[in-house]
């Protein structure tokens, strides 16, 4: 199998079947065999050859030509058997309906899925509740209840629960919704988007007012200036990255079964619009595996790509039948439409092999040509399956051309492929390459440079590959200012922040034109971008036919570690009004992560330091549970205390030896509690830094810091590596962690 060492580590950590003690019961090849055998069983109901299909699927997956969404890899052939990544649940305007939805979301999160909700049916804040005579608290208050439930459930799963929250722009509480995540610590298990209409966008463009409507009666309750509301959306997105926008009229224009209901929401990353109680199974084709080398260079192997599309459609259609859905309503509605979402990954890498710049007319044209081919081949494959197995049950009621029965109501979706792209060893989804080289720190204090394989191949061929040049690229994050590299290579090998927001949107629109569902894409802005820049992108997304868009401006979130344009604070603690203020968190740190066995599972402790010593501690509990909030609180207080000048040795003395009943009752434990474990980790790093056995990073000044470095948001709670904003979510390219599941 063409799987890298890092990819194999991610698979072993997150996907392999294990016993109750956490011991793997299969290897990576065994995992793929388990998945393919289970999915091939779907052929049995249609008289197909199960063994032949299993072998075909196994070749496709182990060659990394195609990979299904993570729940399929995790759960196929296992007792849970829940294989879908995307769900949308209705939220009705009664206490019973609201808490039914919370319960159902908890069951979905437990099974590894993400959920989307529209809160547009809930009566606005301050409305009368007839049954009690009380006053309604409004959609945002209930979003916080959903958020808390997600927080509680996600601690025990292999994938974290993630949500999308949408509110129509004409809901009376829209202004509160737009700003509900200005405090980024609030509602942090949700991505949020405003559901805008064509009428609203036109009114905003004209500077006109628009009507707010009561969700129960549909009657107008007042008016707002569309331009002022639009500007508030832009301002909040500029400051925090949220809300995104979703074009509701376009989602319903492409709703192929309007008789089943109205599309109100999408999955957490926005690429899959769904009806209430509908789910979708996604998978992505690895485009790098569909290139062939010729005498003049690389070109797309269209024949092989078409073959993979046909196999992938077959695979995803089988998933619908063998899936064990978390709710009977979801089983029923999903099988009425049989939606699948076939997408791609490695697009940016493919352009590099072809010698095409991502931010070019040629790049956009290739996106359109490629997706048009996949759309055509995918629908032909679905029609072929309909001949053999029958059309989806609501086909006769659908808006699809009736002369060609289809097995699946939708075929294509462009999803973010965070963990899947790590497994495949390629760039994520349709995003540009994040960075071309990284410096990786090893526990023994050594460092090595990881370089993008395509760039390494190109520079080697030109005799330009040197360790010093790679280190410089790693520090810069971009090739743009690297001396000695030909301009043609710099033109092609662009990274995320070399690509202007306009090209991001143009690329998204090119894929959207040939995609049934939607395209997950994050438009990256440098920190100096203005609100007018954000507004221009939203307007362009509307004009070019996108179904929604998400932006992220560098430095716009409070938890971001690296910031461009901010002057580093005082090196020592500062006194103000008689209080000691902690020194600011350093721009660059090095650290260690240790896994410690405690009474209720595993505790992962990350201790980071700079040239002045230890500066922060992070903790994360394993999936077995534990006391995550207490451990996090302890770590935060330690971090603030140390940066305020408290001697770490004093903190270690206070924590060391604290006893917890769940830990001391079990034999063979090396610690007595979570605080004791943190103290011992602190002690190890303190000794290493004081004896100069640990590598201390050289601080990078704000003027030296690169856009690629600054795009990193915060440390991964599982491995301590830095996170990336990509595909509408936050992911770790080192261990596969994803905030969106």
Burial 169-198 (b: 16+ CB within 10 A, else e): bbbbbbebbbbbbeebeebebbbbbbbbbe
Entry field: residues in the chain: 741
Do residues 170 and 224 lie in contact, with contact meaning Cβ atoms separated by under 8 Å?
Answer: no
Please count the other Cβ atoms lying within 10 Å of the Cβ belonging to residue 81: 15
d(CA 504, CA 531): 17
d(CA 274, CA 255): 9
> φ and ψ at 41, to 5 degrees?
-60, -20
d(CA 192, CA 189): 10
Q: In terms of DSSP H, where are the helices of 120-197?
A: 139-154, 174-178
Residues 6+ apart with CB under 8 A from 619: 603, 604, 605, 606, 628, 631, 632, 634, 635, 674, 678
Burial 409-443 (b: 16+ CB within 10 A, else e): bbbbbbbbbbbbbbbbbbbbbbbbbbbbbbeebee
d(CA 644, CA 305): 58
Please count the other Cβ atoms lying within 10 Å of the Cβ belonging to residue 602: 16
Catalytic positions, written as ranges: 267, 269, 271
- 283 CA to centre of own chain: 15
- Sheet with 590-598: strands ordered across: 590-598, 601-610, 613-621
- The angle subtended at Cα 182 by Cα 178 and Cα 185, nearest 5°, is 125
Cα distance between the two ends of the chain: 26
E strand intervals along 317-382 = 340-345
- 89 CA to centre of own chain: 20
Residues 6+ apart with CB under 8 A from 451: 436, 437, 470, 473
From the number of C-beta atoms within 10 Å of its C-beta (0-12, 13-18, 19+), residue 710 rates as: buried
d(CA 136, CA 442): 54
DSSP string, 624-664: T---HHHHHHHHHHHHHHHHTT--HHHHHHHHTT---HHHH
């Amino acid at each position: 199998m063409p799987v890298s060492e890092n990819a194999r580590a991610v698979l072993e950590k997150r996907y392999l079947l294990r016993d109750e003690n956490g011991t793997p019961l299969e290897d990576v090849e065994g995992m793929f065999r388990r998945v393919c055998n289970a999915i091939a069983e779907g052929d049995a109901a249609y008289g197909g050859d199960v063994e032949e299909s299993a072998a075909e699927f196994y070749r496709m997956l182990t060659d990394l030509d195609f990979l299904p969404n993570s729940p399929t890899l995790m759960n196929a052939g296992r007792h849970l058997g829940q294989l879908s990544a995307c769900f949308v649940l209705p939220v009705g305007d009664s206490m019973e309906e609201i808490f039914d939805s919370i319960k159902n979301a908890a069951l979905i999160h437990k099974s590894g899925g993400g959920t989307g909700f529209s809160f547009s049916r809930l009566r606005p804040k301050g409305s009368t509740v007839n049954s009690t005579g009380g006053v309604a608290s409004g959609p945002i208050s209930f979003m916080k209840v959903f958020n808390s439930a997600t927080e509680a459930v996600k601690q025990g799963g292999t994938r974290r629960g993630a949500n999308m929250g949408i509110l129509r722009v004409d809901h009376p509480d829209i202004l509160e919704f737009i700003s509900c995540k200005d405090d980024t610590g609030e509602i942090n298990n949700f991505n949020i988007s405003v559901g805008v209409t064509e009428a609203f966008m036109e009114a905003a463009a004209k500077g006109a007012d628009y009507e707010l409507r009561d969700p129960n009666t549909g009657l107008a309750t007042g008016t707002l200036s569309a331009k002022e509301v639009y500007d508030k959306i832009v301002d909040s997105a500029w400051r925090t990255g949220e809300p995104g926008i979703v074009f509701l009229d376009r989602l319903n224009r492409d709703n192929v079964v309007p008789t089943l209901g109205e599309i109100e929401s999408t999955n957490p990353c926005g690429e899959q619009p769904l009806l209430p109680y509908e789910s979708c199974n996604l998978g992505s084709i690895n485009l790098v595996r569909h290139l062939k080398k010729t005498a003049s260079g690389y070109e797309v192997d269209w024949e092989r790509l078409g073959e993979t599309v046909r196999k992938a459609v077959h695979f995803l259609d089988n998933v619908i039948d063998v899936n064990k859905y978390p709710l009977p309503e979801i089983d029923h509605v999903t099988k009425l439409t049989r939606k699948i979402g076939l997408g791609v990954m490695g697009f940016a890498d493919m352009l590099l092999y072809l010698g095409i710049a991502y931010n070019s007319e040629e790049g956009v044209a290739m996106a359109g040509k490629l997706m048009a081919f996949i759309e055509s081949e995918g629908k032909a494959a679905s029609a072929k399956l309909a001949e053999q197995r029958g059309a989806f049950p609501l086909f006769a009621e659908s808006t699809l051309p009736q002369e060609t029965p289809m097995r699946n109501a939708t075929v294509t979706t462009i999803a973010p492929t965070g963990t899947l792209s790590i497994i495949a060893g390629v760039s994520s989804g349709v995003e540009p390459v994040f960075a071309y080289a990284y410096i990786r720190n090893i526990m023994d204090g050594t460092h090595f440079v990881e370089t993008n394989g395509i760039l390494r191949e190109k520079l080697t061929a030109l005799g330009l590959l040197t360790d010093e040049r790679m280190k410089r690229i790693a520090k810069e994050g971009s090739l743009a200012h690297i001396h000695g590299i030909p301009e043609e290579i710099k033109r092609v090998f662009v990274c995320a922040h070399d690509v202007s927001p306009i090209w991001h949107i143009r690329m998204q629109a090119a894929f959207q034109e040939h995609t049934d569902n939607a395209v997950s894409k994050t438009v990256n802005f440098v920190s100096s971008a203005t609100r007018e820049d954000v507004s221009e992108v939203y307007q362009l997304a509307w004009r070019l036919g996108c179904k929604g868009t998400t932006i992220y401006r560098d430095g716009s979130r409070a938890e971001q570690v690296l910031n461009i344009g901010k002057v580093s604070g005082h090196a020592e603690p500062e006194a103000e009004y008689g209080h000691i203020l902690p020194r600011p968190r350093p721009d660059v740190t090095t650290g260690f992560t240790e896994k410690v066995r405690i009474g209720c599972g595993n505790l992962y402790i990350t201790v980071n330091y700079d040239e002045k010593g230890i500066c922060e501690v992070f903790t994360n509990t394993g999936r077995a549970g534990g006391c995550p909030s207490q451990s996090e609180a302890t770590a935060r207080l330690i971090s603030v205390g140390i940066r305020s000048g408290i001697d770490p040795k004093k903190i270690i003395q206070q924590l060391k030896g604290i006893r917890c009943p769940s830990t001391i009752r079990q034999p063979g434990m090396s610690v007595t509690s979570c605080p004791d474990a943190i103290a011992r980790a602190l002690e190890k790093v303190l000794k290493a830094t004081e004896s100069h056995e640990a590598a201390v990073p050289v601080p990078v000044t704000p003027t030296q810091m690169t856009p690629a470095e600054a795009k990193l948001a915060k440390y991964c709670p599982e491995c301590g590596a830095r996170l990336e904003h990509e595909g509408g979510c936050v992911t770790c390219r080192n261990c596969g962690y994803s905030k969106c599941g």
